[in-house]
């Protein structure tokens, strides 16, 4: 390499120059300064982690500590962590009796993430298998960029897509099904509807979930493809040698051996879906709703934070601080998912290297 | 087992094989179809709003008069500033983690912790970064009190800087730095790891110091990979709306920013604002805004691909 030759020339030159001792000392000093500067860059990320923990937990402690009741002077009210984590009503901005039970937000988040997982996991995994085991180079050359573009599209665009394409399609399908003969019979039998109805509401968990699922599909696909590719050739060749078809080899041998890597891909994708913000606040609605029905509007934890920062509540009131308590919960959830996912990935890499 | 039975078994298996191949191909095609539907629906809804006045105009109460000028400039300001801050920081951190690996146990554990920490930071929801940045950069933990801020220059000077930063372009850029820094670090680390060790050893054998090896050998060899990762990170940054929403709120901006301390809004946030309104005509201009955003994104990605091809040369 020319870089090496240049260095050799410089080394010779430096040796011939007078005053070499000083330049060695200067060099050692320069090395030390650079080392410290680079270490500072790396430690910045640790500082960010501590800042996250500090800010989220400081504001959460403010949320959970006692404060005077505005309606009964002299009486203090407080929300306990237990009430927050187990309460089934979330109405900080509604009515006189403000309830801070995070379960509706959590169920909304999990519902959207669940729908997203139903889309992203099977489709991403099958695409991953196809890319690593079946696809010819030319097919790969069109499929890979497609997935990269899907991965690079901003989340607000997915929200718009959910709002203007996915949900109207779901509603049209609902109209069609409830209008068809078996649907009409089902409606009469259950007494649910008489006329054809769209089933899905204008804002619903399913539409947002499908859009988030499409967004997470490239993550599942590329991570599981990497995992599948990393399985040793000997495994594949052994399976072919005993007469396996391509289906046998990829589904019965390669995928099970790459299973931990694939699980990690699922976990990281779900973590992404749980933390997704703009698409769900556009398309899932703004009603904290404890439900398992994806046709209904829900509010996710991230959507609540967005609602607060859009300016629906005064600064420093309990409503405002609740955003930090919700964010701390969200942070712990996604952190747990990513830590487990990364741990599996790391162990998996060690097994095959 | 008779030959007939064996034949039936084999036919069954090859049938299953063919069926699975069909399923795979179908699912894989589906992602291409989804992309076409996604882009097609946005082009269909938004192309008729595109015009020069839409690109340069200001957001307005009336959909037909609205434009994306100030948000587009806001996006450019914030992303360029974020890139200037993120790249040295990210490449520095990656260099430290990859090229200065310690041998002793204690520092090695610390190294592993920092690396694990960065991988986990990549999974933190971006809105959380926005909330942190609001406290850390916009308010600076309330350290400077609520009185008049410490300032350099006046609001009309291009070099105007004040402490705390408030809801300014610089705060937005620092926020995006937090969001994309893990991505830049991980991509740069992978690029550095791909540089063959023999190159480093050759340089060390000629008496080069560690930093000389990094500056003359490793970084130039890893540059295409680093730049690709950096551009992909920037395209993530330009599409982020949630963290900016937390630090800057949804603002109605009539002017583009002129200094790092000016108020700003970004294009994705403007799109969010329009898409969230019930009227159809605002959906149309939201689609127009998305088209502008996607054009910027595809241009960035095109540059990334070009860079990858231009600098890709064999190393051995």
Residues in chain A closer than 8 A to B276 (CB atoms): 282
Average pLDDT on A124-148 reads 86
Token representation of residue B35? 């992309």
pTM of the model: 0.87
With CB atoms and an 8 Å threshold, state whether A45 touches B119.
no
Cα–Cα dist B223/A17, whole Å: 32
Report the chain A residue with the minimal C-alpha distance to residue B45. A164
Q: How far is CA A221 from CA A81, B25, B36, B123, in A?
A: 38, 14, 19, 17
pLDDT in tens, A193-235: 777 777 788 888 888 999 999 999 998 998 888 888 888 888 8
Residues in chain A closer than 8 A to B14 (CB atoms): 245
Parts of chain B with a pLDDT under 50: 316
Torsion of CA A135, A140, A142, A147, to 10 degrees: 100
CB within 8 A of B85, min separation 6: which ones?
B173, B174, B177
Name the minimum distance, in Å, from the CA of B244 to any CA of chain A: 10
pLDDT of residue A115: 93
Name the minimum distance, in Å, from the CA of B19 to any CA of chain A: 9
pLDDT of residue B316: 45
- Residue A68, strand partner residues: A76
Report the chain B residue with the minimal C-alpha distance to residue A6. B216
Partner residue opposite A38 with nearest CB, options B96, B136, B216: B96
Cα–Cα dist B20/B29, whole Å: 14
Partner residue opposite B117 with nearest CB, options A49, A282, A327: A49
Residue-averaged pLDDT of chain A: 83
Residues in chain B closer than 8 A to A45 (CB atoms): 93, 114, 117-118, 121, 181-182, 185
pLDDT of residue A308: 86
Neighbours of B152 (CB within 10 A): 11
Partner residue opposite B100 with nearest CB, options A35, A150, A334: A35
pLDDT of residue B281: 82
Q: What percent of chain A is modeled with pLDDT above 90?
A: 16
pLDDT > 50? residue A133: yes
Report the chain A residue with the minimal C-alpha distance to residue B174. A48
With CB atoms and an 8 Å threshold, state whether B125 touches A334.
yes
Where does chain A have alpha helices with state H? 2-16, 20-64, 81-86, 103-129, 137-152, 155-161, 167-179, 181-190, 205-229, 233-241, 246-247, 255-257, 259-275, 278-283, 301-307, 318-351
With CB atoms and an 8 Å threshold, state whether A149 touches B126.
no
Name the minimum distance, in Å, from the CA of B193 to any CA of chain A: 15
With CB atoms and an 8 Å threshold, state whether A149 touches B23.
no
What is the DSSP code string of A42-60? HHHHHHHHHHHHHHHHHHH
With CB atoms and an 8 Å threshold, state whether A44 touches B126.
no
pLDDT > 90? residue A158: yes
With CB atoms and an 8 Å threshold, state whether B25 touches A134.
yes
Report the chain B residue with the minimal C-alpha distance to residue A27. B209
> B223 near B109, Cβ under 8 Å?
no
pLDDT > 90? residue A345: no
A:B CB pairs within 8 Å: 273
Report the chain A residue with the minimal C-alpha distance to residue B90. A41
C-alpha angle B290-B291-B296 in degrees, rounded to nearest 5? 95
With CB atoms and an 8 Å threshold, state whether A127 touches B28.
yes
Residues in chain B closer than 8 A to A38 (CB atoms): 92-93, 95-96, 100
Residues in chain A closer than 8 A to B127 (CB atoms): 275, 277, 302, 305-306, 327
Residues in chain A closer than 8 A to B291 (CB atoms): none
**pLDDT-derived band of residue A347, with 50, 70 and 90 as boundaries?**
confident
Cα–Cα dist B268/A279, whole Å: 12
CB within 8 A of B193, min separation 6: which ones?
B98
Average pLDDT on A7-20 reads 60
pLDDT of residue B147: 59
CB within 8 A of A195, min separation 6: which ones?
none
Burial of residue A1, with CB atoms counted within 10 A of its CB: 0-12 exposed, 13-18 middle, 19 or more buried: middle
Residues in chain B closer than 8 A to A39 (CB atoms): 96, 100
pLDDT of residue B194: 86
């Amino acid at each position: 390499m020319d870089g090496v030759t240049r260095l050799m020339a410089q080394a010779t030159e430096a040796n011939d120059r007078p005053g070499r001792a000083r330049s060695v000392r200067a060099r050692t000093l320069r090395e030390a300064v650079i080392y410290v500067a680079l270490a500072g860059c790396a430690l910045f990320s640790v500082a960010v982690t501590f800042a996250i923990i500090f800010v989220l937990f400081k504001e959460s402690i403010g949320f959970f500590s006692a404060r005077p009741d505005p309606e009964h002077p002299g009486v203090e009210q407080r929300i306990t962590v237990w009430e927050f984590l187990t309460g089934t009503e979330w109405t900080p901005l509604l009515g006189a009796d403000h309830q801070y039970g995070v379960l509706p937000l959590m169920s909304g988040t999990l519902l959207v993430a669940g729908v997203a997982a139903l889309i992203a996991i099977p489709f991403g995994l099958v695409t991953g298998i196809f890319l690593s085991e079946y696809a010819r180079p030319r097919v790969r050359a069109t499929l890979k960029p497609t997935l990269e573009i899907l991965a690079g599209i901003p989340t607000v665009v997915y929200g718009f897509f959910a709002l203007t394409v996915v949900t109207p399609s779901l509603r049209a399908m609902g109209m069609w099904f409830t209008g068809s003969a078996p649907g009409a019979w089902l409606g009469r039998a259950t007494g649910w509807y008489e006329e054809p109805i769209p089933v899905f509401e204008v804002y619903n968990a399913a539409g947002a979930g499908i859009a988030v699922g499409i967004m997470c599909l490239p993550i599942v696909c590329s991570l599981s493809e990497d995992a599948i590719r990393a399985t040793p050739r000997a495994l594949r060749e052994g399976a072919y040698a005993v007469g396996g078809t391509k289906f046998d080899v990829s589904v019965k041998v390669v995928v099970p051996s790459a299973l931990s890597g694939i699980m990690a891909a699922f976990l990281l994708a779900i973590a992404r879906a749980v933390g997704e913000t703009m698409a769900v606040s556009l398309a899932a609605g703004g009603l904290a709703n404890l439900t398992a029905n994806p046709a209904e509007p829900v509010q996710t934890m991230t959507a609540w934070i967005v609602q607060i920062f859009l300016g629906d509540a005064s600064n420093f009131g309990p409503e405002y601080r609740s955003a930090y308590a919700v964010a701390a919960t969200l942070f712990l959830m996604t952190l747990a998912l990513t830590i487990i996912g990364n741990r599996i990935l790391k162990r998996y890499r060690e097994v095959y290297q | 087992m008779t030959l007939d039975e064996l034949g039936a078994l084999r036919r069954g298996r090859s049938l299953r094989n063919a069926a699975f191949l069909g399923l795979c191909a179908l699912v894989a095609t589906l992602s291409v179809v989804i992309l076409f539907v996604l882009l097609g629906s946005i082009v269909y809804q938004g192309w008729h709003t595109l015009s020069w006045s839409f690109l340069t105009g200001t957001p307005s109460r009336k959909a037909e008069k609205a434009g994306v000028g100030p948000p587009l400039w806001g996006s450019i300001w914030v992303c360029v500033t974020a890139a200037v801050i993120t790249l040295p920081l990210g490449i520095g951190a990656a260099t430290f983690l990859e090229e200065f690996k310690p041998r002793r146990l204690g520092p090695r554990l610390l190294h592993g912790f920092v690396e694990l920490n960065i991988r986990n930071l990549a999974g933190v929801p971006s809105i959380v970064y926005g909330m942190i940045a609001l406290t850390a950069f916009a308010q600076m933990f309330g350290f400077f009190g609520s009185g008049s801020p410490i300032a350099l220059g006046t609001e009309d000077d291009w070099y105007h800087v004040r402490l705390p930063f408030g809801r300014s372009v610089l705060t937005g850029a620092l926020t995006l730095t937090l969001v994309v820094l893990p991505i830049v670090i991980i991509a740069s680390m992978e690029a550095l790891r791909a540089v063959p060790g023999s190159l480093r050893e050759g340089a060390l054998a000629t008496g080069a110091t560690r930093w000389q090896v990094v500056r003359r050998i490793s970084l130039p060899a890893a540059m295409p990979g680093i730049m690709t990762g950096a551009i992909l990170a920037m395209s993530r940054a330009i599409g982020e709306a949630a963290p900016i929403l937390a630090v800057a709120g949804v603002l109605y901006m009539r002017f583009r920013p002129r200094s790092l301390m000016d108020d700003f809004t970004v294009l994705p946030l403007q799109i969010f604002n329009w898409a969230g309104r019930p009227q159809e005509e605002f959906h149309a201009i939201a689609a127009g805004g998305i088209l502008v955003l996607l054009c910027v994104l595809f241009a960035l990605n095109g540059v990334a691909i070009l860079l990858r091809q231009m600098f890709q040369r064999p190393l051995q």
